[in-house]
Chain A
Amino acid sequence: KNEVEQSPQNLTAQEGEFITINCSYSVGISALHWLQQHPGGGIVSLFMLSSGKKKHGRLIATINIQEKHSSLHITASHPRDSAVYICAVLFGGSNYKLTFGKGTLLTVNP
Chain B
Amino acid sequence: NAGVTQTPKFQVLKTGQSMTLQCAQDMNHEYMSWYRQDPGMGLRLIHYSVGAGITDQGEVPNGYNVSRSTTEDFPLRLLSAAPSQTSVYFCASSRLAPYNEQFFGPGTRLTVL
Q: Which residues of A contact B (CB under 8 A)?
A: 4, 30-31, 33, 35, 41-45, 48, 50, 86, 88, 90, 95-103
Contact = CB atoms under 8 A, between A and B. Distances in A.
B107 interface: yes
Interface of B: 31, 33, 35, 40-45, 48, 50, 56, 58-59, 88, 90, 92, 97-104, 106-107
Given A41-B88, A41-B106, A98 B98 contact: yes
Contacts of A103: 42
Contacts of B58: 97
Nearest to B92: A43
B42 A102 contact: yes
30 contacts: A4-B42, A31-B99, A35-B102, A41-B88, A41-B106, A42-B106, A43-B90, A43-B104, A44-B104, A48-B100, A50-B99, A86-B43, A95-B97, A96-B31, A96-B56, A97-B45, A97-B48, A97-B58, A97-B98, A98-B33, A98-B43, A98-B45, A98-B98, A99-B45, A100-B42, A100-B44, A101-B42, A102-B41, A102-B42, A103-B42
A43 B106 CA distance: 7
Nearest to A102: B42
A100 B43 contact: yes
B107 A41 contact: yes
Contacts, number: 61
A4 B99 CA distance: 16
Contact of B99 (A41, A45, A48): A48
A45 B101 contact: yes
A61 to B, nearest CB: 13
Contacts of A45: 101-104
Contacts of B42: 4, 86, 99-103
Contacts of B45: 97-99
Contacts of B100: 48
Contacts of A4: 42
